[in-house]
A and B are shown apart, each in its own frame.
Chain A
Amino acid sequence: MSPVIKKRGEKFTIPSKYLLLALTILCTVLMLITFGTDVFNRPLNAVVGRVIVPFQQGIGKLGGWLANRSEELVQIRDLLEENQRLRQEIAQLTEENTLLQQDKYELNQLRALIELDEQYESYHKVGARIIGRDTGNWYSSFIIDKGEDDGLAVDMNVIAGGGLVGRITATGPNWSRITSIISDNSNVSAMTLASEDNMIVSGNLQLMTENSISFSQLVDSLNTAVVGDKVVTSNISDKYLPNILIGYINSIETDANNLTKSGRITPAVDFEHLGEVLVITDLKQSVDGE
């Protein structure tokens, strides 16, 4: 008798093991296809984005509102105290400010001299709100509330608070996924700002709880890199724009091969408390036609 049983008057049903087999094959095929290409991502991302993202946005807004209200209540007393202290600080800062303004004038002149105008300010940026976090405990990625409709695309760099957060790895019409630089599957080509020595900065799950990331393959033949040095994205990275701050060297060790160094970096961004991010809509220039 056929295993696909059909009695009269009964609804047609597939036994579970056949359904399992069919879906297993479907999953395997999907994995094989989407490993290299993203044929299915576009329609699926669109459909799921329309259904899920509005809810996430709502929850994000509600959560933010509640957090703000509770914080307000707690902070009123502190604020009074702080106000007193800040008044004193203002007086001090006004004085410092005049000094700094003089310095700035000087800096501008010097910058003009060496034509160093390639700062962050020249990039086009779009603000976005984080509305979801990775549902698993293995990697670190975020969902933001802007997507293709707002002109975002895969590989765009994301910054917050002056430091690098990560880059966009998937987009839907109204959402995008950011893979952060502290995620275990992320590697960034970087360099020290002072000596322009290249290195690889990789996220690490073990270090994630200590809020630091690791770097390796730093060729520092002149021994100039020290703890506290600024690390920025390198000129030779093919995804990241140059000179975006990643963080500061936290510890440094010479590798067993005596040629390269590795160690840890404290990121400039506080990944625990991210609310809004800036997406740089300029893409790194790449050489086409490989």
Chain B
Amino acid sequence: MLRKFTVAIFILVCFLLQSSVLGSIAFAGIIPNLMIILTSSFGFMRGEKEGLVIGFVCGLLSDIFFGDFLGFYALLLMYTGFLNGKFSRIFYPEDIKLPIALIVTSDLSYGLICYTLMFLLRSRLQFTYYFGHVILPEALYTTVATLFLYPLILKVNEKLEAHEKRRAQKFV
């Protein structure tokens, strides 16, 4: 219960930050993708199921406010969460390299898929421009945001896990 509540707060805060405050600190009109950080972090920390559910909720929120039709971002982020969940077996909290690598890869593939489905199919063929001006800057900026956001998520998750362990012991 506490976990669901905390995760909901995380999603809400990240969405609000991304739709309001981040716009004013954007470099060259590019904002980092906090939803990807959230989805993939919970994916590799907690496993496939939690990753895909959180991805679905994050995506649906973007869909409702900014999508032309429902389900596109939800589907994309859901698979991001699920695939990141596959790495939960080799995840150690002390290691920062794997999370960063996973988040960057997620954001790059997210950008590439968005480009292919939303721009390439409308015959916007200048791939190098879009890669250099949107996808790559977003990935870099997201990496910087990861350095701030990820430790927080990790800390909160550890607290939650400790809390859950205590509760489980109480019931035995």
Q: Which residues on B sit within 8 Å (CB–CB) of A45?
A: 64
Q: Which residues on A sit within 8 Å (CB–CB) of B70?
A: 30-31, 34, 40-41, 44
Interface flag for B15 (CB, 8 Å): yes
Q: How far is the CA of A135 from the CA of B63 in the complex (A)?
A: 10
Contact of A19 among B52, B119, B134 (CB under 8 A): B52
CB interface residues, B 66-95, toward A, < 8 Å: 66, 68-72, 74-75, 78-79, 82, 85
Number of residues in A with C-beta < 8 Å to the partner?
45
Question: Contact at A209–B75, with CB atoms within 8 Å?
Answer: no
Interface flag for A5 (CB, 8 Å): no
Closest Cβ of chain A: how far from B115's Cβ, in Å?
8
Q: Which residues on B sit within 8 Å (CB–CB) of A138?
A: 114-115, 118-119, 134
Question: Contact at B47–A52, with CB atoms within 8 Å?
Answer: no
Contact of A206 among B53, B56, B74, B126 (CB under 8 A): B126
Question: Contact at A24–B75, with CB atoms within 8 Å?
Answer: yes
Question: Contact at B49–A137, with CB atoms within 8 Å?
Answer: no
Question: Contact at B69–A135, with CB atoms within 8 Å?
Answer: no
Contact of B16 among A40, A48, A52, A205 (CB under 8 A): A52
Question: Contact at A55–B12, with CB atoms within 8 Å?
Answer: yes
Interface flag for A263 (CB, 8 Å): no
Question: Contact at A63–B24, with CB atoms within 8 Å?
Answer: yes
Q: How far is the CA of A269 from the CA of B61 in the complex (A)?
A: 29
Interface flag for B151 (CB, 8 Å): no
Contacts A20-B52, A27-B74, A206-B129 given; does A59 touch B64 at CB 8 Å = no
Question: Contact at A59–B124, with CB atoms within 8 Å?
Answer: no
CB interface residues, B 98-140, toward A, < 8 Å: 114-115, 118-119, 122, 124, 126, 129-130, 133-134, 138
Question: Contact at A59–B66, with CB atoms within 8 Å?
Answer: no
When C-beta atoms are compared, the residue in chain B nearest to A131 turns out to be B20
The number of residue pairs between A and B whose CB atoms lie closer than 8 Å in the complex comes to 127
Contacts A24-B75, A135-B19, A206-B126 given; does A185 touch B68 at CB 8 Å = yes
CB interface residues, A 108-151, toward B, < 8 Å: 131-139, 141, 143
Closest Cβ of chain B: how far from A28's Cβ, in Å?
7
Question: Contact at B48–A55, with CB atoms within 8 Å?
Answer: no
Q: Which residues on B sit within 8 Å (CB–CB) of A208?
A: 29
Closest Cβ of chain B: how far from A139's Cβ, in Å?
7
Contacts A24-B78, A132-B19, A137-B31 given; does A19 touch B64 at CB 8 Å = no
Closest Cβ of chain B: how far from A127's Cβ, in Å?
19
When C-beta atoms are compared, the residue in chain A nearest to B53 turns out to be A19
Interface flag for B154 (CB, 8 Å): no
B20-63: contact bitstring with A at CB < 8 Å (1 yes, 0 no)? 11011000111101010000000000011100110010000110
Interface flag for A23 (CB, 8 Å): yes
Q: Which residues on B sit within 8 Å (CB–CB) of A41?
A: 64, 70
Contacts A48-B64, A56-B16, A209-B133 given; does A16 touch B85 at CB 8 Å = yes
Q: Which residues on A sit within 8 Å (CB–CB) of B47?
A: 16
CB interface residues, A 134-189, toward B, < 8 Å: 134-139, 141, 143, 169, 177, 184-185
Closest Cβ of chain A: how far from B117's Cβ, in Å?
10
Given contacts A20-B82, A31-B71, A40-B70, 13 further A-B contacts (CB under 8 A): A16-B49, A29-B71, A56-B20, A131-B20, A133-B23, A136-B66, A137-B30, A137-B31, A138-B134, A205-B130, A205-B134, A206-B126, A209-B133
**What are the 4 A-B residue pairs with the smallest beta carbon separation, nearest first?**
A30-B71, A16-B49, A132-B19, A27-B71
**A residues engaging B (CB < 8 A)?**
16-17, 19-20, 23-24, 26-31, 34-35, 40-41, 44-45, 48, 51-52, 55-56, 59-60, 63, 131-139, 141, 143, 169, 177, 184-185, 205-206, 208-209
**B residues engaging A (CB < 8 A)?**
12, 15-16, 18-21, 23-24, 28-31, 33, 35, 47-49, 52-53, 56, 61-62, 64-66, 68-72, 74-75, 78-79, 82, 85, 114-115, 118-119, 122, 124, 126, 129-130, 133-134, 138
